[in-house]
Structure 1
């Protein structure tokens, strides 16, 4: 029996940085937003013409902190920059189980990231939030 709609549990996310998998065990949220640049022409003899051109993808993913892997990645990125002037890039794979049971895989390429939220509180789970930008999103399957 097929499901009528996609739900959050139908999505799984894997994150690679410089070709190495970063184990972010419990990704609890993922959002991707297509970025576009508006192009506009205002001809003197006609109606305005507007269209959008692709301009990358931005988004956020949230994890329930189950290990120090994200913190260690951020520290390694900073160290690489300050010690050698090198800034790496990542790849995000999003796997979606479609309502009909088929699988769709999206690959986000040339990812840069920022750790946005790392809030600690007494007797509360730690949820970390990462903002990312990717040059493009490609359908793998």
Structure 2
């Protein structure tokens, strides 16, 4: 917190995969967005109403690679797929320390993780990896 505002340092994530916790040392960025379907209804009087129907959540996170965690997760996902093993979904718990001293916790349920980028490998540069996800719900815990 800085001057009564939340900053990214106020957020922590716990990611639980189908085979236990996915421990990532250096999460650099986390982004989440609700998905909705909008439907316009315009009766003969011309006064349009809009229905908004929640359709889950999407998001991304970026990681500085400090070990093989994400590469191993994806290798297991691929192996399960090709061996006909149905992989159960994950869940993500997001905790935000609030400026008033309290905290808010949200759980993303039925999460499917996708390794978007295993990272560019260059001399004298760190390797940044990115993951996207979809979730069925985001529940207040």
Sort the TM-score into its range (normalised by shorter chain): over 0.9
Runs of 4+ in 1 over 6 A off after TM superposition: none
Unmatched 5+ stretches in structure 1? none
Unaligned runs of 5+ in 2: none
TM-score (norm 2): 0.92
Counterpart of 2:111 in structure 1 is 111
The aligned residue for residue 135 of structure 2 is: 134
SS of the residue aligned with 1:62? strand
CA deviation after TM superposition for structure 1 residue 45, in Å: 3.1
CA distance in 2, matches of 1:27, 1:132: 15
Question: Aligned runs of 1:38-77 on 2, under 5 Å?
Answer: 38-77=38-77
**Secondary structure of 1:45 counterpart:** coil
Q: 2: distance between equivalents of 1:113 and 1:126?
A: 19
Matched, 1:122 2:123: yes
Between 59-68 and 37-46, the greater mean CA deviation after superposition = 37-46
Q: Tell me how large the CA RMSD over aligned residues is.
A: 1.4
Q: Distance in 1 between matches of 2:41 and 2:99?
A: 41
- C-alpha distance in 1 between matches for 2:125 and 2:73: 23
